[in-house]
Amino acid sequence: MTSYTHPADVRHLFELQRQASREQVEVPMLVRRERLLRLGKLLDEHAAVLAAAVQADFGIRSQRLTEVADFFVLRSQLAHTLKKLSRWMKPQRMSTPLYLLPARGWIERQPLGVVGIISPWNYPVQLALGPAIDALAAGNRVMIKTSELTPHTSAQLAGLVAQFFAPDEMCVVQGDAAVAALVASLPFDHLVFTGSTAVGRKVAQAAAANLTPTTLELGGKSPCIIDADCDLQDAALKIAHGKLLNAGQTCIAPDYVLLPRGKEVLFADAYRAAVARLFPYFEGNPDYASIIDSRHLGRLRTMLQQAQTLGAQIEVMAAQPDTPPPPPMSIGDGVARQMPPTLVFGVTQDMQLMQEEIFGPILPVISYERLDDAVAHINASARPLALYWFGKSDAVRDSVLKRTVSGGVTVNDTLMHITHDRLPFGGVGDSGWGGYHGEQGFLRFSHQKSVLAQSRFSAGAMLYPPYGPRFDRIMRLLKRLF
């Protein structure tokens, strides 16, 4: 099923976009709006086709899940961008220092040129078109390299983008890691990559050869801290939702829980009840996504087996009794890849579960004596893409926020910070760099050009050589101004 774009065609498409961006440096607001509206029309008219393609790629992933996880986020981002675009595009007037008056200074926000996007498989529509919305709003041309693990979605997206956009405006290229490496090596004006930290390093190295600035949205082990006074039932439900959305195949999913010692049984009971409420059964449940392929499923099972061998206690969630059989579906081997949610207690740092991003429905639980121990554990590891805190005390919350560094935070919930249109989304350290969404995304893909308009009455000539006593007097006067 996988379709490949020939390397010569990739280079040709890039050159088309690069030439177009140089010939039309200024991109009027009406042109930008019209491109964004076309993208919205693509989503409105073909969401069902794209959702069916995602379903075909995963085996089991319902249209409703794709609606909330991909299309809802995109529509919200698109509406906010269209509403704010005219304000974002306006030149920003800067106050002028006294010694430069009556000159004027301002910042013009210009398109960078051509933005490349290498998107992942887990949310194959949202994470391809989300950065594209910001890049198009900023007036850029866009080339998207989609994942070979979602060939049906990639093919549909390529065809639809070609239907709604000229190739020098936006295009989709398809292929394996070799095509991705080629795309990363092109001299884009900006390159966005979403994926693993290991591959992100390779992308950054390839981009550096061209001095291409990058936005890297990577992964990491996002912790979830449960404070002693929190409502465990409420926390467990929100953690289960964040962990099990898309079967845990989410870059900001809670990767592990830090739990006050002595509450292990209470948390396990609460989590079990939360899972039963969200997913009464797993096999054949259209709301519970399959693991993307057998290789990823095998990796998850190996991690569990190693943890058990090293002494961890594993609790696999069971389907609720008397659950009605699911309706017949044409899902191939999707059912076989619906991995049940699993809790793991007694994990240690030498286990693979605690060394790699899990990216599946496995939730390790680490018990702590004092909150300081939980904070120390987080700070001893690579900085995560997300952090979650559950509790009632604002003082404790603020203490945790000040003492930890993460890409983003949701308090008393999970995942929700990514849906806030005015909050930039991005990582820090090993979890990436740069952020987009909202005005920060617009600025990420814009060049902020500084302009100083000198007045005919400029006093700058007083600082010209030859230097002498008059120059010394002027410098003494200027020093008094600072």
| Residues with catalytic roles | 217, 251
What radius of gyration do the chain's Cα atoms show? 26
Q: In what order do the strands lie in the sheet with 214-217?
A: 170-173, 141-145, 114-118, 190-194, 214-217, 432-433
Q: Which of 85-93's residues contact partners 24+ apart within 8 Å by CB, and which partners? A: 85/29, 85/32, 85/33, 85/36, 85/137, 85/442, 86/29, 88/137, 88/439, 88/442, 88/443, 89/29, 89/32, 91/451, 92/448
- 158 touches 131 (CB < 8 A): no
The residues facing 344 across adjacent strands are 314, 364
Q: Which two tokens stand for residue 413?
A: 């919930």
Rounded Cα distance between 94 and 450, Å, is 10
Question: Nearest to residue 334, comparing CAs of 300, 361, 297, 305?
Answer: 297
d(CA 59, CA 333): 7
Which amino acid is it at 481? L
Tokens of 465: 């050589």
Contact 273, 341 (CB under 8 A): no
Distance CA 302, CA 316 (A): 15
How far is residue 94 from each of residues 76, 84, 136, 393, measured CA to CA in Å?
Answer: 31, 21, 26, 41
SS3 content of the chain, % helix, strand, coil (to 5): 45, 15, 35
CA geometry: angle 252, 258, 261, nearest 5 deg? 165
Beta bridge partners of 93: 106
Strands lying side by side in the sheet with 92-94: 92-94, 104-111, 446-453
- Rounded to whole angstroms, the Cα distance separating 66 from 125 reads 9
Instruction: Tell me: cis bond preceding 102? Omega within 30 of 0 counts.
Output: yes
